[in-house]
Amino acid sequence: MARGIKDKVVILGMGCSKFGERWDCDAEDLMVEAYSECIADAGIATAQIDAAWLATAKEELHSGKGGLPLSFALRLPNIPVTRVENFCASGSEALRGAAYAVASGACDIALALGVEKLKDTGYGGLPEASRGVLNMMWWANYSAPGAFAQLASAYRVKHGIDTDELKRAMAHVSVKSHENGALNEKAHLRNRITEERVINANMIAEPLGVFDCCGVSDGAACAIVTTPEIAKSLGKTDLVSIKAMQLSVSNGTESGFSDWDGSHFHTARIASRRAYEEAGVSDPRRQISLAEVHDCFSITELVTMEDLFLSEEGKAWRDVLDGFYDADGGLPCQIDGGLKCFGHPIGASGLRMIYEMYLQLHGRAGARQVKDPSLGLTHNLGGAPHQNVCSVAIVGHLLGPGY
Amino acid sequence: MIGITGFGAYVPRLRLTRQQIADGQPGGARGKTIAGERAICNWDEDAITLAVEAARDCLQERNCLTGITLASTTAPFADRQNAGIVAAALDLDEDLQSMDVGGAQRAGTTALITALRSGCEGGERLVVASEHRVTRAGAPHEVRFGDGAAALSIGATDVIAELRAAETRTVDFVDHFRAADAAQDYYWEERWIRDEGVMKIVPPVVEAALAQADMAAGDIDHVILPSPVPGVGARLAAQLEFQEAALAETFDKTIGDTGAAHPLLRLAAVLSRARAGEKILLAAFGQGTDVLILETTAAIGTRQPRLGVTGALAQRRPISDYAKYLSFAGLIDRELGMRAEGDNKTALTQLYRRRDLILGLVGGECEKCGTRQLPRSRYCVNPKCNALDTQKPFAFADVPARVLTWSADHLSFTPDPPSYYGLIAFEGGGRMFANFAEVDAGAVDVGSVMRMAFRVKEHDRKRNFRRYFWKAVPDGGSQGKEQ
């Protein structure tokens, strides 16, 4: 494996808009909101940014397919701006572009910003795609909940779990995230819920009820990255560095070949192994302090804990019910409320996850602050269980504890 | 000698009862219990998809088809050959003569006579008759009509029934009509149709056919007579002095009258139980009449359809209520929600490039490692192979599959929520993330056995186009789950 970028790139500043049904905001407003916090946090001037990466996945909604929307919104001084999209992992992809630019020496300071304006469709859920192209001619007509619900059927049968027991574990995933989200003023959904309410909620895609699904929101998040040397020269101490950024992309094997049983994410296992190797993590369940995973649906989070080797295969549902991933558990997961409470503005989510890790590592997470975290893991997934892109990133204190 | 070499049929699984229809009318059923039901298309079935299923029921490995005829008065396209779509779905060789026949209720028998008389050089001809019969809600014919299809292969070898006589008369007797731009029929008085039409036009042609075959009415073992008006078929049989025991099953209270397909569907049912040396008289009525007399050969019984009419009837699924039928049949303007507003425009260039995949469910089989895959791709999907351009076409349509993962989706738009779909694995390799059809709640789980069916995937209401693809249906009705 290549040497990787561990500790070559640090986060100079971050920002995150309030996520929610931002009826009064254009994508421009969301970008400016996140950026204003970020640039103030970084303590630099816009003119010091060498290049920028914009993540946004649904071009129908205000942003267009190139770098122009970000350059216009922030009046960037004619620097390179690249739009990236990689399904729901787009935000992580923007950060990867900016981090690699810094690590390579091509840029001193780079910006990654993710934004999505989803609430202009007139209905809940993601915008419907146009159906003129080949994939739409032969793929099943599916929705995101329907695609991810498939996991539950295979996981239940493979591990011989009672339907009601699995439903209860899934319910606890959501209850736990709402407990955390209630403490986060930037979260979209801030209400507490009960397992009973989750279990008895309206069915969306069997066995996922409405509370097994993440919200749909508008939002933006961004990061400014640089080298440790430049950060120090700018007077920054106590730096948060990138330990690993890995991406694994399906090639059709799961959906077209054999041996994948539908109960887990093939790519997540590959991306997490590579990330642990890049970061030098040998015992993730013990070494990772916090995880922000792609909880688009409760079952996604549940099986992902196994794919990240944080729970043993077939045991995540027990860990969930035991409270291992609760705020006061062994490895708090979705300490900010997750996609469940933030919703999932596609381009923004990956950066929103990093934002929470950044706050936690700096001890700036307020009421939901975890004691002395050392390594934070983010997992950002796009597509469907049978074909997806999966990003795993690890951040921590530059040259800090945890190894 | 040219004759029938094989037969098959298809009846859509859904049934609408006469009671449901009566209860759905403003006058209601007035407390009466009404027996009988009709077969109806699901929302994603039409005359083409029914025809494909009937043809699959009929065709066997040994068929070498050089021609196909689709007879229907309800085919979805006025100018795009419907028979061509059926041929593509059957993955037939494109070296094929094809045509649509329509315009009258005897389109099926006319296509059959034409095929039997045309000679079959170098192979067989498939005659498929199919109807999707929709009337106005509450029209008298709503209870009597049915949806269904039948297919007959015509050839010179392994003949199971030979043509002994065929007679035709063409008379512009307008018992009903449907204008080219109209969705529904307009009918005249039934007593006039019976007395001045059927009872006067059909008998002399039947007698002429019997004379041509040098037979008497009493010689006929199976009689299939038209009955465009209730009771007129029996009245014809009595007048023509056919034996009562010879009168073939009408299916009027189980399937309904399937129009141009009906004589062929009834013939398919007769052929499945006929013995060698039996004589069959088949007549159809519609702006004249067609009469055929067939005689079964010693080979009858060597050729059976996959399911036939009886097997298709056994897959019956009741529809929950009349309103749902009206919705499926497009008879009420239902709110479909914003999710149905998406543009379903089909890139015809794309459809043409991958027509073997979209219409024929043809994937690939790697000649290097043997891996079957859908779709056929440039690089083999097997990670241990990944060879370039090694795949030969492989047809998945008739390969059984099992459910690997599934869900019932209440969110995405479908005319019949919830939408069932999931990842299926074909026996022998190959996978597909497929829409399911004909699923009852609780009937599908991981491991269920599925069979592929050609169905409507999208309606493009803006351009009046419909796109077809293959869906997985529980094999053997809803009872496909492995025990």
Interface of B with A in 293-352 (CB under 8 A): 337-339, 341-347, 350-351
Which positions in chain A touch B410 (Cβ < 8 Å)?
Answer: 202-206
**CATH code at A153?**
3.40.47.10
Nearest CA in chain A to B383: A253
Same domain, A207 and A226: no
> A130-139, pLDDT tens digit by residue?
666 788 889 9
Residue B425: per-residue pLDDT:
97
In the 3-class helix/strand/coil scheme, how is chain A assigned residue by residue?
A: CCCCCCCCCEEEEEEECCCECCCCCCHHHHHHHHHHHHHHHHCCCHHHCCEEEEECCCCCCCCCCCCHHHHHHHCCCCCCEEEECECECHHHHHHHHHHHHHHHCCCCEEEEEEEECCCCCCCCCCCCCCCCCHHHHHCCCCCHHHHHHHHHHHHHHHHCCCHHHHHHHHHHHHHHHHHHHCCCCCCCCCCCCCHHHHHCCCEEECCEEHHHECCCCEEEEEEEEECHHHHHHCCCCCCEEEEEEEEEECCCHHHHCCCCCCCCCHHHHHHHHHHHHHHCCCCHHHHCCEEECCCCEHHHHHHHHHHCCCCCCCCHHHHHHHCCCCCCCCCCECCCCHHHHHCCCHHHHHHHHHHHHHHHHCCCCHHHCCCCCCEEEEEEEEEECCEEEEEEEEEEECCCCCC
Mutate to test the interface with B, among A134, A167, A210 (most CBs of B within 10 A): A134
The residue from A88, A107, A213, A390 that is catalytic is A88
Nearest CA in chain A to B361: A138
Alpha-carbon gap, residue B23 to A358, rounded angstroms: 66
Residue A403: per-residue pLDDT:
42
Q: Which of A233, A263, A296 lies at the terminal end of a domain, its last residue?
A: A233
Mean pLDDT of B250-278: 98
Same domain, A180 and A257: yes
Q: Which of A233, A264, A286 lies at the terminal end of a domain, its last residue?
A: A233
The whole domain housing A50 covers 10-120+218-233
| A55: in domain | yes
| Minimum-distance CB partner of A203 among B357, B382, B410 | B410
| Minimum-distance CB partner of A130 among B338, B342, B421 | B342
Supply angle C-alpha A71, A75, A81, rounded to 5.
25
pLDDT band per the 50, 70, 90 thresholds, residue B42: very high
| A72: in domain | yes
Same domain, A169 and A229: no
| A130: in domain | no
Nearest CA in chain B to A153: B405
Distance from CA of A300 to the nearest CA of B (A): 14
Interface of B with A in 410-469 (CB under 8 A): 410-414, 418-419, 421-423, 425, 429-435, 445-447, 457-458, 467, 469
Complex ipTM, two decimals?
A: 0.86
Distance from CA of B377 to the nearest CA of A (A): 10
Distance from CA of A254 to the nearest CA of B (A): 9
| A22: in domain | yes
Is the distance from CB of A181 to CB of A187 less than 8 angstroms? yes
Q: Do the Cβ atoms of B347 and A153 come within 8 Å?
A: no
Q: Do the Cβ atoms of A150 and B377 come within 8 Å?
A: no
Across the A/B interface, how many CB contacts are shorter than 8 Å? 154
Nearest CA in chain A to B441: A206
Nearest CA in chain A to B374: A256
| A265: in domain | yes
> B50-92, pLDDT tens digit by residue?
999 999 999 987 678 999 999 999 999 999 999 999 999 999 9
pLDDT band per the 50, 70, 90 thresholds, residue A64: low
pLDDT band per the 50, 70, 90 thresholds, residue A3: confident
Which positions in chain B touch A250 (Cβ < 8 Å)?
Answer: none
Q: What percent of chain A has pLDDT over 90?
A: 88
Which architecture does CATH list for B3-327? 3-Layer(aba) Sandwich (3.40)
A344 is catalytic: yes
Mean pLDDT of A288-298: 98
Nearest CA in chain B to A205: B409
Mean pLDDT of B391-417: 96
| A360: in domain | yes
Q: Do the Cβ atoms of B447 and A138 come within 8 Å?
A: no
> B437-456, pLDDT tens digit by residue?
999 999 999 999 999 999 99
Predicted confidence (pLDDT) at residue A38 exceeds the cutoff of 60: yes
Which positions in chain B touch A206 (Cβ < 8 Å)?
Answer: 407-410, 418
Average pLDDT taken over every residue of chain A: 94
Same domain, A198 and A79: no
Same domain, A290 and A156: yes
pLDDT band per the 50, 70, 90 thresholds, residue A120: confident
- B345 or B400, greater pLDDT: B400
Is the distance from CB of B475 to CB of B449 less than 8 angstroms? yes
> B271-301, pLDDT tens digit by residue?
999 999 999 999 999 999 999 999 999 999 9
> B324-379, pLDDT tens digit by residue?
999 999 999 999 888 888 888 888 888 999 999 999 999 999 999 999 999 999 99
Show me where the domains of chain B are located. Answer: 3-327, 337-361+397-483, 365-395
Name the domain count of chain A: 2
The residue from A178, A188, A264, A344 that is catalytic is A344
| A393: in domain | yes
Same domain, A165 and A229: no
Distance from CA of A355 to the nearest CA of B (A): 31
Residue A402: per-residue pLDDT:
46
pLDDT band per the 50, 70, 90 thresholds, residue A259: confident
Q: Taking Cα atoms as reference points, which of A349, A367, A365 lies closest to residue A357?
A: A365
Q: Do the Cβ atoms of B346 and A132 come within 8 Å?
A: yes
Q: Do the Cβ atoms of A252 and B377 come within 8 Å?
A: yes
Distance from CA of B463 to the nearest CA of A (A): 13
| A69: in domain | yes
Judge whether B26 is closer than 8 Å to chain A, CB to CB.
Answer: no
Mutate to test the interface with A, among B433, B444, B466 (most CBs of A within 10 A): B433
Provide the strand spans (E) within B399-448.
401-409, 419-426, 431-435
H-helix or E-strand spanning residue B147: none
A188 is catalytic: no
B159 alpha-carbon distance from chain centroid = 23
Average pLDDT taken over every residue of chain B: 94
Residue B60: per-residue pLDDT:
83
Alpha-carbon gap, residue A104 to B174, rounded angstroms: 83
